[in-house]
Structure 1
Amino acid sequence: MENKSPQNKAPIYEALKWYKNQRIVPFDVPGHKQGRGNKQLKEFLGEDCLSVDVNSMKPLDNLCHPTSVIKEAEELAAEAFGADSAFFMVNGTTSAVQAMIMSVCKEGDKIIMPRNVHRSAINSLILIGANPIYINPGIHKRLGISLGMSLKDIEEAIKEHPDAKAVFVNNPTYYGICSDLREIVKLAHSHGMYVLVDEAHGTHFYFDKRLPVSAMEAGADMAAVSIHKTGGSLTQSSMLLMKNEKINPHYVRTIINLTQTTSGSYLLLSSLDIARRNLALHGEEIFEEVVSIAEYARSEINKIGGYYAFSKEIVNGDNVFDFDITKLTVNTLDVGLAGIEAYDILRDDYGIQIELGDIGNILSIISVGDTRYNIERLVSALSEIKRIHTKDKKGIFDHEYINPIVKKSPKEAFYAEKESILISESEGRITGEFVMCYPPGIPILAPGELITKEAIECILASKEKGSLITGPEDMDINEIQVLK
């Protein structure tokens, strides 16, 4: 973009710089008073950081009711992402996902969604009492990962539940797999349903035409976008994007304010403002390099043998309609290692921290901050791991997604009378809590679902291999809360 474009402005960042230069004496919160009250914190984070960790005030606007610099920053973000409205979120994409669902659904309403959603989506159903109409994503047999949503399955769900309020789509999935979003939008809109997109891993789709279509370009009504994941803002900062045609943005702000903090962090807000400016002005060349690095890494890893770093060859025009080539997922099963084992070895023996290891794969996020030198380190580490650790893959549990059998609504199960029993003895009972590996935070079991033998095997196999399992009240993951 040319420099005269308003996209080279960063209103929140500029207002904070002005505030800093005013040398204002603070008799407001936060109590550390620009770091003077917490010297250790100031030494750790730096005076520059703490001097702009400030409270909402007239010159700096208010996130709950923006009228000046935050309003202007959100308008610039909407323009940059092709949306009608954008909301800066400081409670993570979790709160953006929940705001989307809570803006279009109420108690008793139905919402069509894939079962491999992030827990934040199911949590919102617990909060408002909406009922999920789950679509089971396909499983890629070779890779053991869950795929996107098939148009045929959505058509069937709409036919069976014509009163559903919305279709919720993960696009892309954690592994970079995309559904046919344009056709899903046409289908849902033709039946009077909203389309909500969990686009946590899709910031870069807005800035590179070689990547899959973005939610706003596909015509979705709302999208939750984790700018911090691949766009360069601080952890926990996110955006909620929307088209105003079918949904009132002022109502959405009211919904956001039900759960979002009234003390929005200016560190997070300014990071969104600066990241948006950087992406709007330089996104094309940034992601051109990201794509190039990811493709190089894939090619080098596949040359090692044993590993399989997949790409667009898995596209099938249906539940793998497109693939995000910036995602570097490597299947490790033919080396005889579970993904989580390779994940631990990379960190403990090679000082390389990747995003996740599941049963069969490791996932590296390639983004604005990666270099070719770091890719070389990853490739050489994987080569050495293969040489040292190759073993027979017999006995490795080869997939993670479990087809759910829903017996109660998430809200009903979550608030029901429960008792704690051993996971190993829970087959046939109805779970009252989540069980999931984190990351990615996709439940193996969610409240209201029947506990099957397959689910128990998956939990125990994941635990044995060293996955971080979250959800149950029992921190040792031996027991599970079930309905009485």
Structure 2
Amino acid sequence: MKQLSQYDTPIHQALEEQKHNRLAHFDVPGHKGGRGNKELKHFLGEECMRLDMNSMKPLDNLCHPVSVIKDAQRLAAEAFGADEAFFIVNGTTAAVQAMIMSSCKAGDKVIMPRNVHRSAINALVVCGAIPVYINPGTNKQLGIPLGMSVQDVETTILENPDAKAILVNNPTYYGICSNLREIVRIAHQHNMLVLVDEAHGTHFYFHEGLPVSAMEAGADMAAVSMHKTGGSLTQSSILLTKNSVNGDYVRQVINLTQTTSASYLLLSSLDIARKNMYLNGNEAIAKTIYFADYARNEINKLGGYYAFAEELVDGDTVYAFDTTKLSIFTRDIGLAGIEVYDLLRDDYGIQIEFGDVGNILAIISSGDRNLEIERLISALSEIKRLHEKDKAGLFDHEYVKPNIVMAPQKAFYSQKKSVPLKESNGMVCGEFVMCYPPGIPILAPGELITEEVLRYILYAKEKGCFMTGTEDMKIENINVVEG
């Protein structure tokens, strides 16, 4: 048996072998290497279509890996400092849901911040676990949710000693980190698992100058979006686990919802991206940090904008900051973040990650170029010059504390009726309302609809945020619990 190293890419290597063995394919996919869909082959390229293969013995099977996928996952676990790694082709959504669904059953409590991604609350709808929410800290100037206070975590754990696990966002979309080591220590003292939504922290594992990674902090499971900052294809992710959880059971839970027809394009991208990050990640991330720091400094010189970073660190709800994140506060120039987002794309040909009611986020990586960084800075300067106005009347916060009156699963599957959004004040929400990205629910099933929440939703709609979650595609009506 060959001794594998981080230089190996078992899935990629197996695909390369299959590509040259002149098999006659009487299996799926039906495009047969692109011959059956020439337009798609012309669009994606012949090589891509030929590598779009189905599970077969030489390529292993993601549902029950015994050879090359097993080897690739073992190398990923080693690279990330985990005991096991599971490749996910349904996005990090599936990894987050697998963490919760393998830790909790119907009726079990799970502690989490309310500014979680919708995937976490979706898992509660499916499995019937009960959320115990911790309100994150908030920054009054920026209006953004922060991390969780250790004191709030400890108090919540003491008040809910029967909770099975605690979920931590680390980092948040804005780059904010909680005191993960201390949260792990306290949770483990009370026999609770620590699950980390590390979707935006893949790079933490490969540069010592960044905040601590989930596995290094001692967490039991972590969902990492390899495609976000690790270089793999969109929708590919990795679920990392320690031996404190039963990896075989976790795999069974993953298989409840993950496709049985895993894309080998996604799997091989995870394999190759892991190798690249392990061997070259430190250098690539150093370049990313340099780009982000440079852009921050130049943007702050423009006046009006505030590109925030480590100065927010307070040792508590902002325990650390991810300096690769270029998060920019825009409200002082009289524009909502989503308005700057739209101007950048429509007038300057610049696509950033998202804009909300007060901030924008630009994702920086080593794949960027100096010229593009300068284009972004120049465009922001022009937007300020041409569009700056009085900030009076702008909404001043992103986070509205929820009022939970019913479990998410019960509310989602209850008898519901559709009412006009503007007339829903005081009713119990039966579905989700959120801006995407980032995909953090403004309202989730089982939460009381309040005047403050409605003001936020209507303001976000008016400013042009992309709203999702409701059955009504126009976001004019909302499903509420009857009775």
**What TM-score do the two structures reach when normalised by structure 2?**
0.99
- Deviation track 1:84-110 (CA, whole Å, cap 9, x = no partner) reads 000000000000000000111001000
Q: 1:4-403 residue pairs with structure 2 within 5 A? A: 6-244=5-243, 246-403=244-401
- Deviation track 1:137-184 (CA, whole Å, cap 9, x = no partner) reads 111111111000110111111111100000100000000000000000
C-alpha separation between the residues in 1 aligned to 2:158 and 2:229?
37
Mapped contact 1:232–1:368 kept (Cα < 8 A): no
Q: Does 1:473 align with 2:452?
A: no
C-alpha separation between the residues in 1 aligned to 2:425 and 2:107?
28
Q: 1:388-427 residue pairs with structure 2 within 5 A? A: 388-427=386-425
Gaps of 5+ in 2: none
- Deviation track 1:102-137 (CA, whole Å, cap 9, x = no partner) reads 111001000000000000000000101000000001
Mapped contact 1:83–1:242 kept (Cα < 8 A): yes
- Deviation track 1:28-77 (CA, whole Å, cap 9, x = no partner) reads 00000000000000000000000010000000000000011000000000
Q: Is the partner of 1:195 in helix, strand or coil?
A: strand
Which residue identity lines up with residue 375 of structure 1 in the other structure? I
C-alpha separation between the residues in 2 aligned to 1:8 and 1:142?
47
Which residue identity lines up with residue 337 of structure 1 in the other structure? L
Q: Is the partner of 1:439 in helix, strand or coil?
A: coil
1:5 CA displacement: 7.7
Which residue identity lines up with residue 466 of structure 1 in the other structure? G
C-alpha separation between the residues in 2 aligned to 1:459 and 1:400?
11
Mapped contact 1:290–1:367 kept (Cα < 8 A): yes
- Deviation track 1:317-337 (CA, whole Å, cap 9, x = no partner) reads 001000000000110111111
Mapped contact 1:230–1:368 kept (Cα < 8 A): no
C-alpha RMSD of the superposition: 0.8
Mapped contact 1:171–1:197 kept (Cα < 8 A): yes
Which residue identity lines up with residue 311 of structure 2 in the other structure? E
Mapped contact 1:315–1:322 kept (Cα < 8 A): yes
Which residue identity lines up with residue 130 of structure 2 in the other structure? N
Which residue identity lines up with residue 94 of structure 1 in the other structure? T
Which residue identity lines up with residue 217 of structure 1 in the other structure? E
Which residue of the partner structure matches residue 448 of structure 2? 450
C-alpha separation between the residues in 2 aligned to 1:451 and 1:368?
43
1:370 CA displacement: 1.4
- Deviation track 1:190-239 (CA, whole Å, cap 9, x = no partner) reads 00000000000000000000000000000000000000001110000000
C-alpha separation between the residues in 1 aligned to 2:189 and 2:418?
46
Mapped contact 1:231–1:367 kept (Cα < 8 A): no
Q: Is the partner of 2:41 in helix, strand or coil?
A: helix
Q: Is the partner of 2:470 in helix, strand or coil?
A: coil
C-alpha separation between the residues in 2 aligned to 1:368 and 1:188?
36
C-alpha separation between the residues in 1 aligned to 2:264 and 2:319?
39
Mapped contact 1:231–1:368 kept (Cα < 8 A): no
Which residue identity lines up with residue 81 of structure 2 in the other structure? G
Mapped contact 1:437–1:467 kept (Cα < 8 A): yes
Aligned identity (percent) is 68
Q: Is the partner of 2:31 in helix, strand or coil?
A: coil
Mapped contact 1:400–1:444 kept (Cα < 8 A): no
Q: Is the partner of 2:32 in helix, strand or coil?
A: coil
Going from structure 1 to structure 2, the CA distance change for 1:5 and 1:255 (only over 3 Å counts) comes to closer
- Deviation track 1:436-471 (CA, whole Å, cap 9, x = no partner) reads 000000000000000011000000000000000001
C-alpha separation between the residues in 1 aligned to 2:4 and 2:344?
44
C-alpha separation between the residues in 2 aligned to 1:79 and 1:156?
35
C-alpha separation between the residues in 1 aligned to 2:282 and 2:337?
32
Q: Is the partner of 1:22 in helix, strand or coil?
A: coil
Which stretches of structure 1, 4 residues or more, deviate above 6 A after TM superposition? none
Which residue identity lines up with residue 72 of structure 1 in the other structure? D
**What TM-score do the two structures reach when normalised by structure 1?**
0.99
Which residue identity lines up with residue 58 of structure 1 in the other structure? K
C-alpha separation between the residues in 2 aligned to 1:361 and 1:14?
43
Which residue identity lines up with residue 472 of structure 2 in the other structure? D
C-alpha separation between the residues in 2 aligned to 1:169 and 1:190?
17
Mapped contact 1:16–1:52 kept (Cα < 8 A): yes
C-alpha separation between the residues in 1 aligned to 2:321 and 2:162?
32
Gaps of 5+ in 1: none
C-alpha separation between the residues in 2 aligned to 1:209 and 1:337?
36
1:423 CA displacement: 1.0
Which residue identity lines up with residue 10 of structure 2 in the other structure? P
Which residue identity lines up with residue 28 of structure 1 in the other structure? D
1:374 CA displacement: 0.8
Q: Is the partner of 2:111 in helix, strand or coil?
A: strand
1:372 CA displacement: 1.6
C-alpha separation between the residues in 2 aligned to 1:369 and 1:17?
26
Q: Is the partner of 1:34 in helix, strand or coil?
A: helix
C-alpha separation between the residues in 2 aligned to 1:214 and 1:396?
36
1:425 CA displacement: 1.0
C-alpha separation between the residues in 1 aligned to 2:129 and 2:365?
36
1:368 CA displacement: 3.3
C-alpha separation between the residues in 1 aligned to 2:383 and 2:280?
37
- Deviation track 1:4-41 (CA, whole Å, cap 9, x = no partner) reads 98101000001001100112111000000000000000
